[in-house]
Amino acid sequence: MRNAIRQRGLSLIELLVALAIGSVLIVGAVYVFSRGRSTYAVNESIARLQENGRYVLSVLEPDVELAGYYGFTNSPDTIRFVSGSSPGIVYAVAPQMRQQPVPAAAPVAVPNLPAGAHDCGTNFVVDVLTPVQGSNDTFALGPGAGAGCAPYGAGAVASADTLTIRRVDTRTAAPKSRRLQVYASRLRSRSTQQLFVDGAAPGPIDADNEVHDLVVHAYYVAQDAVDRPGLPSLRVKSLGDDAQFNEAEVMPGVEDFQVQFGIDTGDYDNDGVIDAAADVNNDGIPESDGRATRYVNPDFAGLDRAQVVSVRVWVRVRADRPEPGFHDDRRYQYADVDFTPNADEARFRRVLMSRTISLRNARTL
């Protein structure tokens, strides 16, 4: 009788079942990996956008807080533009250094300033009585700005605001010819501070008398980032030697920048009229105590007669490239903006961030 040959290994059916189970496990593992990788990429993109937005706000906040700081005083009313050591020559006082409206029959430029001081508008650089300034939904730093104040690249984003800050550097500096500087005196902080550009300090430099560089920063959104045409970017023009502006990129990807100014109207009980206690001089102009009772756009009529005590800023930051399968159908409403991405714009991920910043040097009268 023949002995049956013992069979060893898997049958064809068992092998097929094992392959089917293994395939299901592999497909599941690949799917989980793919979803995890996609989720990581999305989270990374959102985190990067938020980080970029926070960085922009961290740059703006200390600059806005210091607006109107002119050394030992936050009152620019007595600043005068001088030449030579004390007593020197007085070329202009603060009210004469205001920007000139356009059109004007004969714009009065402060004499003996470097030509660059008027590139962004007559007296734009030395208008110390306007510590914060802006334009609403347009690139217009100052009235009558010329070619020397042109935006970077293909131009500015037409719908974005601008913001200009005037102050002095917190660090002291040595007198330097062709550099606009403020001679700040501790003992005369409520009387006379002096602006000069010839490198000749109007008095001694010691513990009570310091020299600070005049700082003028003008923020705007350009259509092009550095080496990335077509990607919008927040940029800043900074005052340098010869009153010329130097350009720098703050952050690429900022597609919108909006500004509103918090003003003290003196109407603290919200009845629509200036409180009697806030209008001590009875001249219709409130003597500010530093409270923002209303937020207005930079082109608000009468802003030049109001006390700006805070600035509210919004930055809308978008990714640098479209995201496959993503569609942004969110409606963005802020400041005076009502924006819903269209078909192409909706392919980019974006974040909107805002911050309200109080001016530390807002004058309270």
- Predicted local confidence at residue 364, as pLDDT: 52
Q: How far does CA 93 lie from the centroid of its chain?
A: 29
- Predicted local confidence at residue 307, as pLDDT: 83
Question: Distance (Å, rounded) from C-alpha 249 to C-alpha 237?
Answer: 9
- Predicted local confidence at residue 291, as pLDDT: 80
Question: Distance (Å, rounded) from C-alpha 73 to C-alpha 225?
Answer: 38
Per-residue pLDDT tens, the chain, 365 aa: give them.
455 555 566 688 877 887 888 888 888 777 776 666 666 566 788 889 999 999 999 999 999 999 999 988 878 888 999 987 666 788 999 999 998 776 655 668 899 999 889 999 999 999 999 999 999 999 999 888 888 899 999 999 999 999 999 999 999 999 999 999 999 988 875 667 899 999 999 989 998 999 999 999 999 999 999 989 999 999 999 999 999 999 999 999 999 999 999 998 777 767 667 766 666 666 666 666 678 888 999 999 888 777 899 999 999 999 999 988 889 999 999 999 999 999 889 999 999 999 999 998 876 54
- Predicted local confidence at residue 210, as pLDDT: 94
State both tokens at 79.
Answer: 């600043």
Backbone φ, ψ for residue 35 (5° rounding): -65, -40
Write the DSSP assignment of 157-169 as a string of letters.
Answer: -TT--EEEEEEE-
Helix (H) or strand (E) holding 24: helix 12-65
- Predicted local confidence at residue 3, as pLDDT: 52
- Predicted local confidence at residue 42, as pLDDT: 66
Are the beta carbons of 189 and 164 closer than 8 angstroms?
no
C-alpha distances (whole Å) from 318 to each of 53, 193, 221, 222 are: 10, 44, 13, 14
- Predicted local confidence at residue 145, as pLDDT: 84
State both tokens at 77.
Answer: 């009313």
Write the DSSP assignment of 37-99 as a string of letters.
Answer: HHHHHHHHHHHHHHHHHHHHHHHHHHHHHTTT--SS-S-GGG-EEEESSTT-EEEEEGGGGSP
Are the beta carbons of 322 and 247 closer than 8 angstroms?
no
- Predicted local confidence at residue 77, as pLDDT: 86
Question: Distance (Å, rounded) from C-alpha 124 to C-alpha 207?
Answer: 31
Helix (H) or strand (E) holding 246: strand 245-252
How many CB atoms sit inside 10 A of residue 191's CB? 10
Kindly give the pairing relationship between strand 233-239 and strand 209-222. antiparallel
Strands (E), 130-200: 132-135, 162-168, 177-185, 194-198
Question: Distance (Å, rounded) from C-alpha 60 to C-alpha 359?
Answer: 12
Vertex 93: Cα angle to 87 and 97 (nearest 5): 140
- Predicted local confidence at residue 230, as pLDDT: 92
Are the beta carbons of 152 and 124 closer than 8 angstroms?
no
Are the beta carbons of 99 and 128 closer than 8 angstroms?
no
List the chain domain ranges. 40-358
C-alpha distances (whole Å) from 244 to each of 95, 200, 334 are: 23, 20, 34
Are the beta carbons of 252 and 265 closer than 8 angstroms?
no
